[in-house]
Amino acid sequence: MPFSKGASMDAVLFPDTQIRVQKRIRKQAPCPRCGTFSCKDSTSRRQLRELGLHHPIVLEVVQSVHWCKKCCRSFKLPIDDLAERGCHFTRAVKEKALASVFEDGLPIETAVVRMLRDFNVHVPTSTLYEWMVEAGGKKPAR
């Protein structure tokens, strides 16, 4: 399968990466600031790393961008059900990685290896550590 333009790092590292496209496009959407229904202005793409049992998966989310005439600002449709703002991994990846540490009792480095081996997702050690601190399981050293 050829890679899409701007394919993520997983696609570069693993040639058998599957890219799945999910569209979140609406003609109109309410502005999160004022609630005014705003028309679609353009589209935006975001790539997320997803759990994959047999091969790496990159979830490419195409979302509509809307322009609010009242606020004079643009906004995207939310994808909070898939991933947190600014995160490169889906919520499923984050939950599975944290479960490996908190529920299975694995050290961080072992959990990183397990995520790559079992689910074809490389979660950097620093990212997993930040997730643990955010979840309240470990405090950063000063």
Q: What is the pLDDT of residue 2?
A: 42
Q: What is the pLDDT of residue 103?
A: 92
Question: Residue 55 gets which letter from DSSP?
Answer: S
CA distances from 125 to 8, 112, 137, 142 (A): 19, 6, 15, 18
* Helices 91-102, 125-135: inter-axial angle, 10-degree rounding: 80
Nearest to 50 by CA among 101, 3, 91, 109: 91
Element (H, E) at 73: strand 73-76
| 108-115: long-range contacts, CB 8 A cutoff, minimum separation 24 | 108/132
The answer to whether the beta carbons of residues 77 and 29 sit under 8 Å apart is yes
Predicted TM-score (pTM) of the model is: 0.79
Structure tokens, 130? 């930040």
Compute the radius of gyration of the chain from its Cα atoms.
18
pLDDT tens digit at each of 142 positions of the chain: 344 455 444 444 567 888 899 999 999 999 999 999 999 999 999 999 999 888 889 999 999 999 999 999 999 998 999 999 889 999 999 999 999 999 999 999 999 999 999 999 999 999 999 999 998 855 544 4
Taking the C-alpha atoms of residue 8 and residue 20, their distance in angstroms, rounded to an integer, is 12
